[in-house]
Amino acid sequence: MTSGWNSAFLNRPDPAVDALQRAIRLSPLDPLGYLFAAGLAFAHAVAHHYEEAIEWADRSLQQQPRFVIPIRLRTALCAYLDRTEEAREWLGRLLELQPGLTITKYKAAAEVWFSPEFLSWYLAGLRKAGLPEC
């Protein structure tokens, strides 16, 4: 699973998908399956397969409805797909769970994880959804 997440963060969606799907095959009833699904959401987002990314984010959220990682990603994805109302609804959920979140705060925390290209894409989606800059 970690290999899949790392590959997604490094803009390598194909190895990410392979690793995470393998993790699901090896442990289909894993109580941490929501992490596999969230990782696949990221991998598909990196590959610009936004609808698939949303499907995997939703699978993760079915198991862990308050898991902020897929909520944050889904917010950006909806913004990119010009689903403005939906993006704002997800942003509202995100801010309920992470009050005071801003682009500046998230960037400081996330830049150690994501490739610069993906982080730029991600932050632009969150901005488009309405997350405040500071």
- Single-letter amino acid, residue 125: G
Size of the chain, expressed as the number of residues it contains: 134
What is the average pLDDT score of the chain? Answer: 95
- Single-letter amino acid, residue 129: A
For 22-108, strand residue ranges (E) read none
For 20-37, how does the pLDDT look when each residue is reduced to its tens digit (9 = 90+)? 999 999 999 999 999 999
Hey, what are 48's tokens?
A: 């610009």
Confidence of residue 11 (pLDDT cuts 50, 70, 90): confident
Distance between CA atoms of residues 9 and 95, nearest Å: 23
Q: What percent of the chain has pLDDT over 70?
A: 99
Hey, what are 106's tokens?
A: 């998230």
2-129: which CATH topology? 1.25.40
Predicted model pTM: 0.94
